[in-house]
């Protein structure tokens, strides 16, 4: 399991531990990843994703998984999230065709 957020693409960063004596040793800053289950209202399904805490707040702020994926850039999304986004697009196209 990689340490990358499935919605934002946030991954590990590197930096230095700096001691009181100003000695520097390399370290890694890992993202705060959580396993969560998010519900898609349009598809009526639950999806289990591994996302960062910041991404979870962004999903809540934008009004749910559907709204977040509609605005998200494809380059940042994981393969699973891209698949969900394509399903949403297909569902909205089918809905628009039914109304016309």
- Residue 76 maps to which CATH number? 2.30.170.40
User: How many angstroms separate the CA atoms of 90 and 100, rounded?
Assistant: 16
- Using 50, 70 and 90 to split pLDDT, how confident is the model at 96? low
Q: What is the pLDDT of residues 60-71, one digit of tens each?
A: 999 999 999 999
Domain assignment of residue 8, yes or no: no
Q: What is the pLDDT of residues 26-65, one digit of tens each?
A: 999 999 999 999 999 999 999 999 999 999 999 999 999 9
Domain assignment of residue 77, yes or no: yes
Q: Which domain holds residue 49?
A: 13-99
The DSSP string of 33-100 is: EEEEEEEETTTTEEEEEEEEHHHHHHHHHHTSHHHHHHHS-TTTS-HHHHHHHHHHHHHHHHHHHHH-
Among 42, 33, 41, CA closest to 12: 33
User: Could you give the number of structural domains in the chain?
Assistant: 1
Domain assignment of residue 78, yes or no: yes
The pTM (predicted TM-score) of the whole model is 0.83
Domain assignment of residue 73, yes or no: yes
């Amino acid at each position: 399991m990689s340490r990358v957020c499935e919605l934002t693409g946030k991954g590990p960063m590197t930096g230095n531990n700096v001691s009181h004596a100003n000695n520097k040793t390399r370290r890694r800053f890992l993202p705060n990843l959580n396993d969560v289950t998010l519900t898609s209202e349009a598809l009526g399904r639950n999806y289990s994703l591994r996302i960062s805490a910041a991404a979870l707040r962004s999903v809540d702020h934008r009004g749910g998984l559907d709204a977040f994926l509609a605005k998200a850039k494809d380059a940042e999304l994981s393969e699973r999230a891209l698949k969900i986004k394509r399903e949403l697009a297909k569902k909205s196209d089918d809905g628009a065709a039914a109304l016309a």
